């Protein structure tokens, strides 16, 4: 038995099982399964009035798709169109069916064919179970308002023949920080140049969402000044599943595969703290997370490469900030953590797992940690587990380096060029202490290579030939 309720766009609230059966048969918008019928008063209310069952009801086979957008509501006429949501849900002559729920406008169970720019200019709006087919270069723009919230739940945005620009959450110039929010729950965003772009003074909540085949999935930051963005990102997957769609005309960047899961530039605090049940997964991306001139904490995320490509789990560039990387897992990623061209940075890499079981293209083997040009920077690598890498850590041209209490196991490779740590060009006294090193099946020695003062103490070495 399935119990079904629909919004039919005409705001009629059926009140008998017979009436509901007739409406269900002729409705193309009935997609949402729920247990209770709601009564229309001044819009839908949360007061249940009748439970009912429907047997042997079949929905129309006229389903929408990229090749069949006829059932969808057309928004915009061409790439230059600018369409306001407020004009489409006007109560006198609505183009988009909606209803009120506790004072908030709700759009449910609709598909849209979008061209040009679609502007979300309604302060509080819920989009539930919508499907948006985005034309080449089209975009959704969210305008900030004080105490605004825009919800996208159980929905999907996708391109068809070419990529689209993405969803842009515009900067909020209000003196009240973070009081304009965008919320995405269980929603898929694919084929975009920038899946979601968030500018300054905003709040963004993203839960259980999937980002597929975007050039950049999440883009944070804009302008010369640091941006304040409140963020909560939990249980999401960022992945490349094949070749990207062709670029739209004038697209600023394009490659054949996804580049960034999350791109952060000049963000006061990039907060990616997952708990054990809502881990974010970054899969088959050039850069899982790319951090440029931002403070960050990255905790309990997973970085995976399953297609033998040159990938970086976390990349840090031109930083002079504090970055904490803790309790993450890196699986078959060419460089787990990659950092270059930083000045005055403090990087703490603690309690992570770096595992590499397969070789990358051209039989290349990557590094757990790879850092260079770290002027006036302190890097602390503590309590991590490294397995099968070419080097646990490759560190060059830095100021101070600490590598302590790590567990390093190299048992599958066969090379004379494997380094537990390859360190050179360190300017201040550094240490490699209290590590457990298990070496099997390759060259006769392991290198601690340093061209500066470095202290190596209290480490254990097992299974040397």
**Tally of helices (H runs) and strands (E runs) in the chain:** 2, 44
pLDDT at residue number 217: 98
CB atoms within 10 A of CB 9: 17
Q: Residue written as tokens 């000049």?
A: 266
Q: What is the DSSP letter of 161?
A: S
Mean pLDDT of 427-438: 80
Mean residue pLDDT of the chain comes to 80
DSSP labels, 177-227: TT-EEEEEES-EEESEEEEEEE-SSEEEEEES-EEES-SEEEEE--SSSPB
Q: Which helix (H) or strand (E) is 26 found in, with range? A: helix 17-26
pLDDT at residue number 35: 35
Tokens read off for 312: 């970086």
- Residue 120: pLDDT band (50, 70, 90) is very high
pLDDT at residue number 237: 98
pLDDT at residue number 429: 74
- Residue 394: pLDDT band (50, 70, 90) is confident
Q: Over pLDDT 70: what percentage of the chain? A: 74
pLDDT exceeds 50 at position 151: yes
pLDDT at residue number 173: 73
Return the higher-pLDDT residue of 316 and 309.
316
pLDDT at residue number 30: 37
pLDDT at residue number 4: 43
Q: CA 458, 462, 465 angle in degrees (round to 5)?
A: 130
Q: Distance between CA atoms of 459 and 369, rounded to whole angstroms?
A: 19
> Are residues 186 and 164 in contact, defined by beta-carbon separation less than 8 angstroms?
no
pLDDT at residue number 177: 60
Q: What is the DSSP letter of 80?
A: T
DSSP labels, 395-427: EEEEEEEEEES-EEEE-S---S--EEEEEE---
pLDDT at residue number 413: 52
pLDDT at residue number 231: 93
> Are residues 149 and 109 in contact, defined by beta-carbon separation less than 8 angstroms?
no
Return the higher-pLDDT residue of 369 and 61.
369
Per-residue model confidence as pLDDT tens digits over 15-32: 333 333 333 333 333 333
> Are residues 184 and 160 in contact, defined by beta-carbon separation less than 8 angstroms?
no
pLDDT at residue number 441: 56
- Residue 439: pLDDT band (50, 70, 90) is confident
pLDDT at residue number 79: 93
> Are residues 244 and 213 in contact, defined by beta-carbon separation less than 8 angstroms?
yes
pLDDT at residue number 360: 59
Partners of 349 in the beta sheet?
A: 325, 381
> Are residues 96 and 133 in contact, defined by beta-carbon separation less than 8 angstroms?
no
Q: CA 349, 212, 246 angle in degrees (round to 5)?
A: 120
Domain ranges within the chain, ordered by starting residue: 1-59, 71-268, 303-465
Mean pLDDT of 29-41: 37
pLDDT exceeds 80 at position 447: no
Instruction: Give SS3 for 260.
Output: strand
pLDDT exceeds 80 at position 249: yes
pLDDT exceeds 70 at position 62: no
Q: Distance between CA atoms of 409 and 463, rounded to whole angstroms?
A: 10
CB atoms within 10 A of CB 130: 22
Q: Distance between CA atoms of 327 and 22, rounded to whole angstroms?
A: 55
Instruction: Give SS3 for 158.
Output: strand
- Output the CA–CA distances (angstroms, integers) from residue 332 to 72, 320, 359, in the order listed: 42, 28, 8
Positions of E strands within 91-170? 99-101, 104-108, 111-114, 117-120, 124-128, 131-134, 139-142, 148-153, 156-159, 164-169
pLDDT at residue number 11: 40
pLDDT exceeds 90 at position 206: yes
- Residue 417: pLDDT band (50, 70, 90) is low
Q: Over pLDDT 90: what percentage of the chain? A: 49
9-23, 78-92, 358-372: the lowest-pLDDT one: 9-23
> Are residues 415 and 443 in contact, defined by beta-carbon separation less than 8 angstroms?
yes
pLDDT at residue number 272: 93
Q: What is the DSSP letter of 247?
A: P
pLDDT at residue number 86: 94
> Are residues 205 and 184 in contact, defined by beta-carbon separation less than 8 angstroms?
yes
């Amino acid at each position: 038995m399935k119990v079904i309720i629909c919004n039919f766009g005409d705001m009629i609230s059926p009140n008998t099982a017979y009436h509901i059966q007739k409406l269900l048969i002729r409705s193309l918008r009935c997609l949402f399964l729920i247990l209770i019928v709601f009564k229309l008063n001044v819009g839908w209310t949360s007061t249940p009035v009748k439970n009912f069952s429907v047997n042997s009801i079949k929905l129309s086979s006229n389903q929408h798709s990229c090749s069949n957008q006829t059932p969808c509501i057309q928004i915009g006429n061409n790439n230059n169109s600018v369409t306001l949501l407020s004009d489409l849900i006007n109560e006198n002559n609505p183009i988009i069916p909606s209803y009120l729920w506790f004072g908030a406008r709700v759009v449910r169970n609709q598909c849209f064919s979008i061209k040009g720019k679609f502007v979300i200019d309604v302060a509080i709006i819920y989009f539930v179970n919508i499907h948006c087919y985005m034309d080449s270069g089209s975009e959704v723009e969210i305008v900030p308002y004080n105490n605004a919230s825009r919800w996208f739940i159980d929905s999907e945005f996708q391109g068809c023949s070419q990529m689209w620009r993405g969803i842009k959450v515009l900067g909020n110039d209000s003196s009240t920080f973070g009081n304009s929010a965008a919320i995405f729950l269980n929603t898929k965003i694919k084929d975009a140049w920038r899946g979601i772009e968030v500018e300054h003074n905003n709040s963004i909540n993203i839960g259980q969402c999937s980002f597929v085949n975007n050039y950049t999935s999440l883009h944070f930051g804009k302008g010369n000044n640091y941006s304040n963005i409140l963020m909560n990102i939990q249980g999401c997957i960022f992945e490349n599943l094949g070749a990207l769609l062709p670029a739209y005309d004038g697209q600023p960047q394009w490659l054949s595969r996804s580049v960034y899961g999350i791109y952060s530039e000049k963000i006061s605090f990039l907060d990616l703290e997952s708990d054990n049940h809502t881990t974010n997964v970054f899969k088959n991306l050039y850069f899982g997370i790319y951090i440029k001139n931002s403070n960050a904490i990255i905790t309990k995320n997973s970085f995976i490469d399953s297609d033998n490509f040159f990938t970086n789990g976390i990349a840090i560039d031109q930083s002079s900030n504090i970055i904490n990387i803790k309790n993450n897992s890196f699986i078959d990623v060419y460089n787990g953590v990659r950092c270059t061209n930083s000045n005055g940075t403090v990087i703490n890499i603690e309690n992570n797992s770096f595992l590499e079981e397969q070789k990358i293209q051209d039989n290349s083997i990557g590094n757990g940690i790879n850092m260079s040009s770290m002027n006036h920077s302190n890097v602390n690598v503590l309590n991590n587990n490294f397995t099968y890498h070419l080097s646990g850590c490759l560190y060059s041209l830095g100021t101070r380096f600490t590598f302590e209490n790590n567990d390093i196991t190299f048992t599958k490779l066969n090379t004379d060029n494997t380094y537990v740590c390859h360190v050179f060009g360190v300017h201040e006294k550094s240490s490699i202490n209290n590590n457990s090193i298990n070496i099997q099946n390759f060259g006769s020695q392991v290198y601690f290579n340093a061209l500066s003062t470095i202290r190596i103490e209290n480490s254990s070495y097992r299974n040397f030939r």
